[in-house]
Structure 1
């Protein structure tokens, strides 16, 4: 045990190794360059925790209400009269993968629009991190990483609810979670690039929700097979990340017949959209924030 002295010098000498101290600037800069994307992702995730109950209600509650209304309520009528219209499975099993993918699309549409404008114009939250050694690319990557974590968490919770209702009879159903996340990013990352390019808010995001998100939700084979639509409307599904993710999800959750080559096309299409969207976003952020 250390004897206390009148000037406290001996106590200070003992406690000195345990006192907190800031890193040297060169150390902080080196760490920021190496882990800047993760630092910014942490910042976004901590910001999300301040409204976590709202996030849970909107990301999980809304699709679950659709599940009850369409998959449980309406399903009793559809199953009674549909015959083999849904590949021999219940309407609940048919619709659940589509709602899983649509939840990620709508969440991505929310996270990659107004928060982006907030970062550049309203609260200008991007400029503080950019004044540090973080690069525009790391800010983009951090934002995307945080949203990916949110998509994964909410989709996993939603899938567990779906599974409790028996809407995922296949053992491979859990793989529908990363597929749904990928479909959300395939839609959201090009939207991120577009949102970052907007300098004045003139209602562009409201138009995106009304004339892009809603039609894709309705005409991507969500509530009925795509081939039941008139030919002149099917193209909406073909270009929609939601349809590609839904088709993969149905193959995984209940074994819908899907040739291997077509599954590869679905995955490749989603990956290309996500990668191209991310590269465009990085380019726009670099232009607006500077190198």
Structure 2
């Protein structure tokens, strides 16, 4: 017969919370996401099926018939698929790093309850980042699996694009989280982000056609876009898209730098708004 576990003292519980607080809040974030898990699953399956079926059976057939060789020796669906995986991850990050942050600080002030415990503001920020990263990684893997079923990821290293797409999501989402953390009211900023930042990045990041085919005065949008960097990496991994090794390193370093900068700023802003 085993003995009952000895309960922790308040001081021990507080010390454990200080040590593992980020993971506690990550668990809370994931539990909240369970309330709309069915929607996430439907989006993770339905969106790739709709896009890939439309592109693979519809548009791609027309493009391949009239533009053979325009996409580096691969069919249009294979060219497009890495961009769709990365863009889906970025779109998910946009929602998860905007609305829950405003909810935590303004609408329902859900960040302040955990802060009344031994959890520090920086741990709350880190916990949200951990939870959202897991939430993005799993649907991205599902999206990639459907891409494989369509035969649009022929390379042996194509699976690594799951992680480059997730890094893209963090590269865009974490600076966005830092920005939203500074807001004290919703005055249409979210709609502006969707219309004037997210949509142009989706359209002008080499998603549907090579970036070099754009006029020179629009190509800078792609150069600054995490989506373009992730898309280029995804194409290299998926089908051996020809690209210099140094440029691949630039893609990774750019996304890492913006993600780290966003995470550091978010921690600082959380600490300033909620107190040390």
Residue in structure 1 matched with residue 268 of structure 2 by the alignment = 283
- 1:47-86 superposed Cα distances (whole Å, 9 cap, x missing partner): 1112101112234422432222224321010110112110
Tell me, in whole angstroms, the C-alpha distance in 1 between the residues paired with 2:233 and 2:226. 11
Asked if 1 retains the 8 angstrom alpha-carbon contact of 2:175 and 2:262, the reply is yes
SS of 2:153's partner is coil
Tell me, in whole angstroms, the C-alpha distance in 2 between the residues paired with 1:165 and 1:172. 17
Asked if 1 retains the 8 angstrom alpha-carbon contact of 2:86 and 2:166, the reply is yes
Q: 1:273 aligns with which of 249, 252, 258?
A: 258
Residue in structure 1 matched with residue 58 of structure 2 by the alignment = 73
Q: 1:26 aligns with which of 11, 14, 37?
A: 11
Q: TM-score, normalised by structure 2?
A: 0.97
Matches within 5 A, 1:2-81: 17-18=3-4, 22-81=7-66
Tell whether 2:191 aligns with 1:218. no
Tell me, in whole angstroms, the C-alpha distance in 2 between the residues paired with 1:76 and 1:36. 52
Residue in structure 1 matched with residue 99 of structure 2 by the alignment = 114
Matches within 5 A, 1:183-194: 183-194=168-179
Tell me, in whole angstroms, the C-alpha distance in 1 between the residues paired with 2:78 and 2:17. 46
Tell whether 2:238 aligns with 1:238. no
- 1:146-198 superposed Cα distances (whole Å, 9 cap, x missing partner): 11101110010110100011100000000111000001100000000001111
User: What is the Cα deviation at residue 269 of structure 1?
Assistant: 0.4
Asked if 2 retains the 8 angstrom alpha-carbon contact of 1:41 and 1:143, the reply is yes
Q: In angstroms, what is the RMSD of aligned CA positions? A: 1.3
After TM superposition, the runs of 4+ consecutive aligned structure 1 residues lying more than 6 A away are none
Tell whether 2:145 aligns with 1:142. no
Tell me, in whole angstroms, the C-alpha distance in 1 between the residues paired with 2:87 and 2:30. 22
Tell whether 2:266 aligns with 1:261. no
Residue in structure 2 matched with residue 7 of structure 1 by the alignment = none
User: What is the Cα deviation at residue 258 of structure 1?
Assistant: 1.4
Tell me, in whole angstroms, the C-alpha distance in 2 between the residues paired with 1:22 and 1:199. 41
- 1:194-232 superposed Cα distances (whole Å, 9 cap, x missing partner): 011110111100110111101100110000000011111
User: What is the Cα deviation at residue 23 of structure 1?
Assistant: 2.3
Q: TM-score, normalised by structure 1?
A: 0.92
Consecutive unaligned residues in structure 2, runs of 5 or more: none
Consecutive unaligned residues in structure 1, runs of 5 or more: 1-13
Asked if 1 retains the 8 angstrom alpha-carbon contact of 2:87 and 2:202, the reply is yes
Asked if 2 retains the 8 angstrom alpha-carbon contact of 1:95 and 1:222, the reply is yes
- Structure of higher CA gyration radius: 1
Q: Which shows bigger deviation, 71-80 or 209-218?
A: 71-80
Asked if 1 retains the 8 angstrom alpha-carbon contact of 2:141 and 2:162, the reply is yes
